[in-house]
A and B are shown apart, each in its own frame.
Chain A
Amino acid sequence: MDIPVIRNILEANDRISNQLRKIFKAKQILVLNLISSPGSGKTSTLERTLTDLRDELKMAVIEGDLVTDNDARRVAATGAQAVQINTDGACHLDSSMVLQALDSLDLEGLDILFVENVGNLVCPAEFEVGEDYKISLLSVTEGDDKPEKYPLLFAESQVMLLNKTDLLPYVDFSLERASKFAKALNKNLDIFPISCKTAEGMGAWYDWLRAKTKEKKEA
Chain B
Amino acid sequence: MHELSIAQGLVAIIKEEMEKHEVTKLHSVRVAYGQMAALVPEALTFAFEACTLGTDMEGATLEMVPIPVILKCSECGEQFSPDKSDLFMPCPNCDEGLGHEVLQGKELYLDNMEAE
CB<8 Å pairs between A and B, sample of 20: A2-B113, A3-B113, A4-B111, A5-B109, A5-B113, A6-B109, A8-B109, A9-B13, A9-B110, A12-B9, A91-B2, A123-B2, A125-B38, A126-B2, A152-B37, A155-B36, A184-B98, A185-B87, A185-B100, A186-B99
Question: What is B's interface to A at a CB cutoff of 8 Å?
Answer: 1-2, 5-6, 9-10, 12-13, 17, 21, 23, 31, 36-38, 71, 74, 87-88, 97-102, 106-116
**Chain A interface (Cβ < 8 Å from any Cβ of B):** 1-13, 90-92, 94, 122-123, 125-126, 148, 151-152, 155, 180-181, 183-188
Q: Could you tell me if A2 and B38 are in contact, using CB atoms closer than 8 angstroms? A: no
What's the nearest-Cβ distance from chain A to residue B27, in Å? 10
Task: Let me know if B88 and A91 touch, CB within 8 A.
Answer: no
A residues less than 8 Å from B108 (CB atoms): 8-10, 126
**Assembly CA distance A156 to B108 (angstroms):** 16
**What's the Cα separation between A151 and B88 when bound, in Å?**
9
* Contact A187 B38, beta carbon cutoff 8 Å: no
Q: How far is the CB of A23 from chain B (nearest CB, A)?
A: 23
| Shortest beta-carbon distance from B95 to chain A in Å | 13
Is A152 a contact partner of B36 (Cβ separation < 8 A)? yes
Q: Is the CB of A2 within 8 A of B74?
A: no
Known: A6-B109, A125-B38. A1 touches B9 (CB 8 A): no
Whole-angstrom distance between the alpha carbons of A94 and B2 in the complex? 11
Could you tell me the distance in whole angstroms from the C-beta of B63 to the nearest C-beta in chain A? 13
